[in-house]
Structure 1
Amino acid sequence: MKTSSDAPTWIDPFGRSIEYLRLSVTDRCDLRCGYCMPKKYTGFKEPSEWLTFDEIERLVRALARGGLRKVRLTGGEPLLRRNLTDLASRLSAVPGIVDLSLSTNATRLAGMASELKRSGVSRLNVSLDSLKPERVEAICGQNVLPKVLDGLQAAKAAGFAPIKINTVAMAGVNEDEIDDIVDYCDSQAFTLRLIEVMPMGDSGRNAQYLDLQGVRRRLQRRFGLVDGVVPGGGPARYLCRPSDGFSIGFITPMSQHFCATCNRVRLAVDGTMYMCLGHEDRYEFRALLRGNAGDAAIQQAVRQAILRKPERHEFRESPHKVLRFMSATGG
């Protein structure tokens, strides 16, 4: 990927440098994980509402000129977007973008891993909430565990490393499997990231929240872990094993928020930018992109959007504040 060292940096009102974009390429998903979207949800936006690849690339280029360095392709499930690898190739060539990653449920990863690697995707995050087929079906709406495991092996064979496993830890649902998932990731040389449920929409608020601070202390003792750092632009705080680098990350927006170091914004597939997961404030870019706006106008709109980024989320103070659900925002 090309780099640029002389671009100005986007700075929000609290002095944080915005270098990371979570880019949703679809609001659709082939699963129905309860903490992400309602199980019977069918109200997906029509494709005409989605940004085209040309529009996405133009906006990413505008962001990169102001300091954007990292882009993560998300959804919904991004591998459902037709010709996604073409978009990946275009974004990986944007001057200034030094890291292009992808989050996926891996149901389609087995057949796409090699092409994704060739297109410039450098890192993968894969959702895996259980190693038990019947529990995967209960959480996701269908038993896709064999597809996910096959996808992970294909990703390893394609040369992705490290591969990060995202596990949403839920009380009374999969908390009894955490050690088994740790052992699986250890055996496969995957980096595990345990995630607290966030109260986004009714689906998120109805999920079984589990405070991860006690889990962190227990796993630290069991595996002899110490504080560490794993490459990436995300919010996880990591524990690492010095002998071989095995790592467990903890994403704890509820029990220990990470807002002071937040360096990202999210762009939904319809061109809506969300400056914070915990706020409904947004900035609409689709009309600008389709209204022949010049580059200067796009740059000014980005600047205005970033200046609206709040200091922190209010998930604890106002758990009913966010009405949209996760898949409509971008993971």
Structure 2
Amino acid sequence: MQLEDSYQRKFYYLRLSITDVCNFKCQYCLPDGYKPKGKNSGFLQLEEIRRVIAAFAHCGTTKVRITGGEPSLRKDFSDVIAVAAEQPGIEKVATTTNGYRLAKQAAVWREAGLTHINVSVDSLDSRMFHQITGENKFTEVMAGIDAAFDAGFPQIKVNAVLMKDLNSNELPAFLSWIKSRPIQLRFIELMQTGDMDDFFSRYHQSGISIRNYLIANGWLMKAREANDGPAEVYTHPEYQGEIGLIMPYKKDFCQTCNRLRVSALGKLHMCLFGDYGVELRDLLQEDSQRDQLITAIQTQLADKKVSHFLDDGYTGMTPNLAYIGG
């Protein structure tokens, strides 16, 4: 059984948020810090998480990324990793973290079954890192990356949002940093969300300009795998590290979409920038509901749009990237 939409896109990749809380105040996401949005019945519990992952795995999903907010804020984060890793068919269990707990927890997460890790590092300058994230944690995050290598992760992915007139001039420094390190440095193009229209207009830097710079300097694009994320990955014979470019404003970006999202409150989202979420939580209470859950997911896939329409200025219901696990 395979999840497929009306555009023949197959979905091997689940992005599962387990909290929308974050302890950083990144300028492009939560500049004023985390603020709960209305009342909720609490985030998905461990058994609910197990059931939703099991249903997706039954339908051919092979990769789960545990997201937030900051997912490691959950006290049971290691248990969530273990639940994902033990599901038959799940080959990759990944997470995206701001890295503040990484130095202490990398080995624990690896032992629990985490296979891939992304760490957000928007600047290699400690003062700029503080300015962008609102937290003076650069040294701790760098130590966390070292700890992740020591724990046995063969490659670390580092996410950076390059922004005009803020950190865009750090591209050469970032490239130098990965020359002798097995890091896939992922430059994520700033995306417009409902709360950040003015910020986007001021600081947006085109991902295409970064791609053109790389190509002009001898970088070559790698072939994609079925459960890869949206990044175009580039390699260079003189570099141990790689570059991944996530360019949501690039033409036909959505043609290779292979991922679905479930929020920390149990809503299915067809797209990060969709205009609605579908309630699944009532179907996550008993193991016997699995067939109903799968039917609900498949039914909604028929309505998945061909594109996110970001290039038309459409941001959907997404107020910020922490809301449903950007």
* TM-score normalized by the length of structure 1: 0.92
Question: 1:257 and 1:161, CA in 2 relative to 1: closer, same or farther beyond 3 A?
Answer: farther
**How far apart are the structure 2 equivalents of 1:192 and 1:230?**
16
Q: How far does residue 166 in structure 1 lie from its aligned partner after superposition?
A: 0.7
Give 3-state SS (helix, strand or coil) of 2:102's partner. Answer: coil
**Alignment partner for residue 15 of structure 2, among 22, 41, 44?**
22
Q: How does 1:67-216 map to 2 (within 5 A)?
A: 67-203=60-196, 206-207=199-200, 208-216=203-211
**How far apart are the structure 2 equivalents of 1:118 and 1:321?**
38
Contact 2:181 2:240 in 1 (8 A): no
**How far apart are the structure 2 equivalents of 1:183 and 1:66?**
42
Question: 1:57 and 1:140, CA in 2 relative to 1: closer, same or farther beyond 3 A?
Answer: same
Show the counterpart of 2:250.
Answer: 255
Contact 2:179 2:239 in 1 (8 A): no
Contact 1:280 1:322 in 2 (8 A): yes
State the one-letter code of the partner of 2:293: I
Q: How far does residue 13 in structure 1 lie from its aligned partner after superposition?
A: 1.1
**How far apart are the structure 2 equivalents of 1:20 and 1:320?**
22
Show the counterpart of 2:221.
Answer: 227
**How far apart are the structure 2 equivalents of 1:47 and 1:218?**
46
Range 308-317 or range 284-293, more displaced: 284-293
Give 3-state SS (helix, strand or coil) of 1:116's partner. Answer: helix
State the one-letter code of the partner of 2:57: A
Give 3-state SS (helix, strand or coil) of 1:151's partner. Answer: helix
**How far apart are the structure 1 equivalents of 2:38 and 2:246?**
29
Q: How far does residue 54 in structure 1 lie from its aligned partner after superposition?
A: 0.1
- After superposition, what is the alpha-carbon deviation per residue over 1:248-280, rounded to whole angstroms, capped at 9, x for unaligned? 111000134520010001111000111112221
State the one-letter code of the partner of 2:94: S
Aligned residues: 323
* TM-score normalized by the length of structure 2: 0.93
Question: 1:102 and 1:46, CA in 2 relative to 1: closer, same or farther beyond 3 A?
Answer: farther
Report sequence identity in percent. Answer: 33
Give 3-state SS (helix, strand or coil) of 1:191's partner. Answer: strand
- After superposition, what is the alpha-carbon deviation per residue over 1:308-330, rounded to whole angstroms, capped at 9, x for unaligned? 22111111213354442110110
Q: How does 1:260-299 map to 2 (within 5 A)?
A: 260-290=255-285, 294-299=289-294
- After superposition, what is the alpha-carbon deviation per residue over 1:124-170, rounded to whole angstroms, capped at 9, x for unaligned? 11111001122111111121101110100000101112111111111
**How far apart are the structure 1 equivalents of 2:185 and 2:224?**
11
Question: 1:41 and 1:257, CA in 2 relative to 1: closer, same or farther beyond 3 A?
Answer: farther
**How far apart are the structure 2 equivalents of 1:251 and 1:20?**
16
Q: How far does residue 244 in structure 1 lie from its aligned partner after superposition?
A: 5.4
Range 202-211 or range 10-19, more displaced: 202-211
Q: How far does residue 204 in structure 1 lie from its aligned partner after superposition?
A: 6.1
Task: Give unpaired runs (5+ residues) of structure 2.
Answer: none
Question: 1:244 and 1:29, CA in 2 relative to 1: closer, same or farther beyond 3 A?
Answer: same
CA RMSD of superposed structures (Å)? 2.0
Range 163-172 or range 42-51, more displaced: 42-51
Give 3-state SS (helix, strand or coil) of 1:217's partner. Answer: helix
Give 3-state SS (helix, strand or coil) of 2:214's partner. Answer: helix
**How far apart are the structure 2 equivalents of 1:323 and 1:91?**
26
State the one-letter code of the partner of 2:71: P
State the one-letter code of the partner of 2:322: S
Range 99-108 or range 208-217, more displaced: 208-217
- After superposition, what is the alpha-carbon deviation per residue over 1:81-128, rounded to whole angstroms, capped at 9, x for unaligned? 112111111110101111111111101100110011111110111111
1:65 aligns with 2:79: no
Give 3-state SS (helix, strand or coil) of 1:11's partner. Answer: coil
**How far apart are the structure 1 equivalents of 2:115 and 2:286?**
33
Contact 2:180 2:240 in 1 (8 A): no
Q: How far does residue 292 in structure 1 lie from its aligned partner after superposition?
A: 8.5
Contact 1:102 1:124 in 2 (8 A): yes
Question: 1:239 and 1:95, CA in 2 relative to 1: closer, same or farther beyond 3 A?
Answer: same
